Amino acid sequence: MKNVAVILAGGRGPGLWPRGTDKMPKQFQHVLGNGTMIQNTVQRISPLIPAEQTWVVTTQQFEGLVREQLPELPEGQIVCEPFGRNTGPSIALTSTLLKFVYSPDTVLAFLPSDHLIQNSHEFQAVLNQACHAARTSEMIVTIGVLPTRPETNYGYIQVGNPYSANGQAGDKVYYVHTFAEKPDPETALRFLNAGDFVWNSGIFVARIDVLLRAITTFLPDHAPLFASLERHVNKETYHAALETIFRQIRSISFDVGVMEKAENILVVDGAFGWSDVGTWDEVYRLVMKDGKNNVLEGNVIALNTGNSLISALGGKIVGVVGVENLVVVDTEEALMICPRGQTNQVREIVDVLRRRHIG
């Protein structure tokens, strides 16, 4: 039985504005590593799941970028949504379409396209273990990351009792006790000290038949619409039918719509150096600093400056004098200046730009 990867690449995460924009979100950007984030994601899983078993789900807006950045992806393996409706509809749509391609017991691994993983070999081992647990059970499996600090920007999973399928699932597979939303600092510290909480990586692994049953049960307003799409698959009416469906469905994440409601959920623990790279503060934390604890990128002149991230890739020289704990990001289209420790508020700028229909 095959393992099939589905890369979730339709998001427009605003946290790395102005580098990441609605037209060129961070999964298509060079942020950390040699390639773009989506290229690094596909390369990372290739020893376990090759390109011929890899699919990408994205919006029509980004189909050209996916083809340009992933030329090794076989023709026909991009699932295009008319527009974004979050991960719940993305997973429902892809599971519905892939039942026409693979057998019902095929394992699908849904992976975000814009996360950083530093230890690829360890990650591949954990993903393989998750695929095995999903294949041999009626469970949806997620991957949890062992926390290293009381992080407030991540969701958490409380780990329950060990799971074993005839002793074959491994010693890092557990039932999920509960999911927890992004905590405040005090709660995050309590989670860390408790020892039974892991970060939620946003990776979901399950057989096609298990996923479709879960969608029918927990997304009852979505499931009939996607079931109605089946009679249009591989026909000229498909695109019109799909757009009609997407105009009717509500936006919901797979976490909220399914994972937080289902009882047949397992988690595999991993320690492979993970980050969702969701803010400039996180980029600063991850990147090597110079002797003054600065991250300087591009045409930067920094005098009497420390503990700052200054990125100048917009073609201009950026000069800073006498500043501390600052983030400055200059691109061809925009300039962002923010104190370190507050870059999670950058998304509010993006909200304003979207309301003004700018960018």
Cβ contacts of 317 within 8 Å, gap of 6 or more = 299, 300, 301
My answer on whether 52 and 171 are in the same domain is: yes
My answer on whether 14 and 102 are in the same domain is: yes
The pLDDT of residue 169 is 47
My answer on whether 257 and 319 are in the same domain is: no
**pLDDT per residue as tens, the chain (359 positions):** 689 999 999 999 899 999 999 999 999 999 988 899 999 999 999 999 999 999 999 999 999 999 999 999 999 999 999 999 999 999 999 999 999 999 999 999 999 999 999 999 999 999 999 999 999 999 999 999 999 999 999 999 999 999 976 655 456 899 999 999 999 999 999 999 999 999 999 999 999 999 999 999 999 999 999 999 999 999 999 999 999 999 999 999 999 999 999 999 999 999 999 999 999 999 999 999 999 999 999 999 999 999 999 999 999 999 999 999 999 999 999 999 999 999 999 999 999 999 998 86
Closest CA to 62 of 88, 36, 99: 36
CATH number at residue 71: 3.90.550.10
CA 240 from centroid of its chain's CA atoms: 28
My answer on whether 243 and 315 are in the same domain is: no
DSSP symbol at 72 = T
DSSP symbol at 206 = E
My answer on whether 251 and 303 are in the same domain is: no
Yes or no: say if 323 and 331 are a contact pair by the CB < 8 Å rule. Answer: no
- Where in the sequence is the domain holding 348, given as residue range(s)? 282-355
My answer on whether 221 and 157 are in the same domain is: yes
From CA 133, how far away is CA 129, in angstroms rounded? 6
The pLDDT of residue 172 is 85
From CA 349, how far away is CA 19, in angstroms rounded? 13
Yes or no: say if 242 and 229 are a contact pair by the CB < 8 Å rule. Answer: yes
My answer on whether 312 and 247 are in the same domain is: no
My answer on whether 318 and 226 are in the same domain is: no
Last residue of a domain, one of 275, 292, 314: 275
My answer on whether 85 and 196 are in the same domain is: yes
Helices (H) and strands (E) in the chain, counts: 11, 17
Last residue of a domain, one of 254, 275, 296: 275
Q: Which amino acid is residue 243, in one-letter code?
A: E
My answer on whether 20 and 158 are in the same domain is: yes
The pLDDT of residue 1 is 67
Structural domain total, the chain: 2
From CA 319, how far away is CA 322, in angstroms rounded? 10
User: What is the dihedral angle through the alpha carbons of 143, 146, 149, 153, rounded to the nearest 10 degrees?
Assistant: 10
Last residue of a domain, one of 275, 291, 321: 275
From CA 135, how far away is CA 128, in angstroms rounded? 10
From CA 58, how far away is CA 104, in angstroms rounded? 23
My answer on whether 247 and 127 are in the same domain is: yes
My answer on whether 44 and 155 are in the same domain is: yes
Does this model's pTM top 0.85? yes
SS3 174: strand
